[in-house]
Amino acid sequence: MPQTWTMYVTAQTLHKELATSDARRSAATWLRQRGFGAVVLENYRGGCVVSEDALKRARDDFHAEGFATLGGLMPVHGEGFGVRAEGNELRLPTFCYSREETRAALEGLIVQAVRIFGTVVIDDVFMTACRCECCDAARKDRPWDVFRRDLLVETARHWVAAAHRERSDARLIVKFPQYYDRYHLFGYDAERFPSVFDAVWQGTETRDPSTLAYGYVEPYEAYVNIKWMQQCAGEKLEGAWFDYLDCDEQLFFEQAVTTSLGALPRITVFSYSEPFVTGSILGRIAASHAVLKKLHQLAEEPSGVHVVKPPNRDGGEDLFLFDYLGMLGIPCVPATHLETTMRSAIITAHAVSLPNFSEMVRNALLAGRQVIATFDALRRMDVSLQGMFGYEPKGIMPGTTRVERFETAGSSYLVAAPCYVSGDLAPTDASVLIWAGTTGCEAGMIRIPFVTARTLSTGGRAVVWNLGTFGHDKFPIVERLNVPMSVPLLNMPKEICDALRAVATAPLGFAIKAPARVATYLFRRHAVFVNYSPVPAEIEVKGIPWKCETLLADSSNTGCTADRLLMAPRSFACVERVVPH
């Protein structure tokens, strides 16, 4: 499927930098030279409204230059427009959607944009944190998160109906943000939105993982977002979207690489503005469109270890864990439920509240499959299911503890940077594969089970990983949506990363040895490795034969043998797999 690169243009930019035909023609030339073929022209953002005549002139000018045009709308509150949300659960200027004034005002702008463009995308603040009296009365006995999802689904249905009344060929698109584990709290409904809207776009903005500016978001999250949303939205997922905020040229390029591996037909970049026109941040992407399109073409259906995240379910103490599993080099295949066809699957706290959770896990284990549970998933299971993993409730005690060393296969490995286990474990009928060690003030070295396994008579293997990330209580006032802290999972010694990865992939018949921050993306006919770290990385692979002569890399310092890759810092490599006929 061909790929279209699209540039987003805000209402403020249309009012200022692109207010004249000459400026728009100049922008079209600039964008064409950098591989873009479409623009989104926004009619509202934060109180700034673009007139219908101005939108039509902009549309016609870009059409004349050969660009496809779409409409856009960013539903953030601005003075004199709609009713702002009350309460400080979020400091963002979201709207109160219980007020007809808000819904009608935004609906009018949607209808206007549909009339001009036909296709309109709603940017990623179609959410609310309102706790006003009106909302509180309307929610009745529903929890806030359930009320907000119901409210926004109802609002979306009205807007989609209005758009279709205006034009029979109207397409109203919702863009999901990147922070997948906070969607459900503020109104984004990954289960119902895809059936309400005509199409879905997905945010893949990961930016700088070393700063709190937009969260400590690991780059693998972009891939998780796309592949998980595909499970929720199916063919309605049409596009991905990232931006330049808190990025240098390399980080911006890595967003493009990871997003391209999601293989969606449209990639949108936010936004045409001063940093693009005068800076060099877009340079490497512009020079690498051919390579990025190649990555897009080779990224077929993914294969690897399934990770289970049902929509609208809370992640407990496992928030955003999937990002870190990918950064540990585990090739993840996101799923919304556990199936007996999955040879190896990781279940987190997200799945435990499903009505059929216990049945799903039992069926998988009885079918001879491997199921890996995090500490928080194990803790939340019913007692009988805990028994299948080799535990009783009294042997599962939460309490984050810093680790000084790990032991596995007769070897001990000291920890150079902070590492933690999620609690204390005492299995009654499971083998310990990896121990974690910490020093007690009187007891000396205390050994804590880090990885345990119990093999059933059916061949099923019930594994526990004593790890996690954080819960919602860790979000500070300054960052309420994206990853709020730097999670130390990637600090584990390489040997322990290799051991965890080997446990996860053993039922799949392959093993990968690599340092943390080297991600593996497996597809039916190709294997892609991305070294997100600032140092060279050696990857050893067994069980995934490939054709060395097909190596595609973005660094001349990357080399390939029959079972090894030597990768340059901050680089990617792709090889074609040998697939049996």
- Can you tell me the distance from the alpha carbon of 480 to that of 318, in angstroms, rounded to the nearest whole number? 16
Whether 31 maps to a domain, the answer reads yes
Q: How many Cβ atoms sit within 10 Å of the Cβ of residue 51? A: 12
Pairing of strands 48-49, 38-45: antiparallel
Nearest CA-CA partner of 560 in 570, 549, 576, 569: 549
- Can you tell me the distance from the alpha carbon of 254 to that of 250, in angstroms, rounded to the nearest whole number? 6
The CATH number linked to 554 is 2.60.40
> Hey, what amino acid is at 88?
N
What are 169-214's pLDDT values in tens digits? 999 999 999 999 999 999 999 999 999 999 999 999 999 999 999 9
Whether 385 maps to a domain, the answer reads yes
pLDDT above 90 coverage of the chain, percent? 94
At residue 424, the 3 state secondary structure works out as strand
Query: Which of 254, 273, 300 is the endpoint of a domain?
Result: 300
Pairing of strands 461-465, 420-425: unpaired
- Are 328 and 285 in a shared domain? no
- What six digits make up the tokens of 242? 């990232």
Query: Which of 452, 478, 506 is the endpoint of a domain?
Result: 506
Check whether 260 has a pLDDT greater than 90: yes
What are 474-522's pLDDT values in tens digits? 999 999 999 999 999 999 999 999 999 999 999 999 999 999 999 999 9
What per-residue confidence (pLDDT) applies to 580? 81
Whether 370 maps to a domain, the answer reads yes
- Can you tell me the distance from the alpha carbon of 366 to that of 458, in angstroms, rounded to the nearest whole number? 6
- Are 376 and 228 in a shared domain? no
- Are 291 and 308 in a shared domain? no
Structure-token match 């490497």, residue found:
284
What per-residue confidence (pLDDT) applies to 277? 86
- Are 224 and 369 in a shared domain? no
Whether 517 maps to a domain, the answer reads no
Whether 432 maps to a domain, the answer reads yes
- Are 118 and 145 in a shared domain? yes
At residue 71, the 3 state secondary structure works out as strand
Whether 259 maps to a domain, the answer reads yes
- In this structure, of 139-148, 275-284, 485-494, the range with the lowest mean pLDDT score is 275-284
Residues of the domain holding 181: 4-300
What are 59-112's pLDDT values in tens digits? 999 999 999 999 999 999 999 899 999 999 999 999 999 999 999 999 999 999
- Are 457 and 549 in a shared domain? no
Check whether 445 has a pLDDT greater than 90: no
What per-residue confidence (pLDDT) applies to 38? 98
- Are 492 and 529 in a shared domain? no
Check whether 17 has a pLDDT greater than 70: yes
What mean pLDDT comes out for the span 375-393? 98
Pairing of strands 266-270, 4-9: parallel
- Are 20 and 166 in a shared domain? yes
The CATH number linked to 149 is 3.20.20.80
Nearest CA-CA partner of 135 in 147, 125, 127, 123: 147
What per-residue confidence (pLDDT) applies to 1? 63
Contact between residue 227 and residue 194 where contact means Cβ atoms under 8 Å apart: no
Query: Which of 280, 300, 320 is the endpoint of a domain?
Result: 300
- What's the domain count of the chain? 3
What per-residue confidence (pLDDT) applies to 215? 97
Contact between residue 539 and residue 490 where contact means Cβ atoms under 8 Å apart: no
The CATH number linked to 332 is 3.40.50
Whether 519 maps to a domain, the answer reads no
Whether 103 maps to a domain, the answer reads yes
- Are 399 and 366 in a shared domain? yes
- Are 200 and 260 in a shared domain? yes
CB neighbour list of residue 337: distance below 8 Å, 6 or more residues apart: 308, 310, 351, 354, 360
Burial of 487 (0-12, 13-18, 19+ CB in 10 A): buried
- Are 432 and 292 in a shared domain? no
- What six digits make up the tokens of 120? 């309109």
What are 416-425's pLDDT values in tens digits? 999 999 999 9
> Hey, what amino acid is at 566?
L
Please write down the HEC assignment for all residues of 462-502: EEEECCCCCCHHHCCCCCCCCCCCCCHHHHCCHHHHHHHHH
**First CA to last CA distance, the chain:** 24
- Are 240 and 363 in a shared domain? no
392 alpha carbon, distance to own chain's centre? 34
The pLDDT mean for the chain works out to 97
- Can you tell me the distance from the alpha carbon of 128 to that of 99, in angstroms, rounded to the nearest whole number? 12
What are 122-131's pLDDT values in tens digits? 999 999 999 9
Q: Residue 275: pLDDT band by 50, 70, 90 thresholds?
A: confident
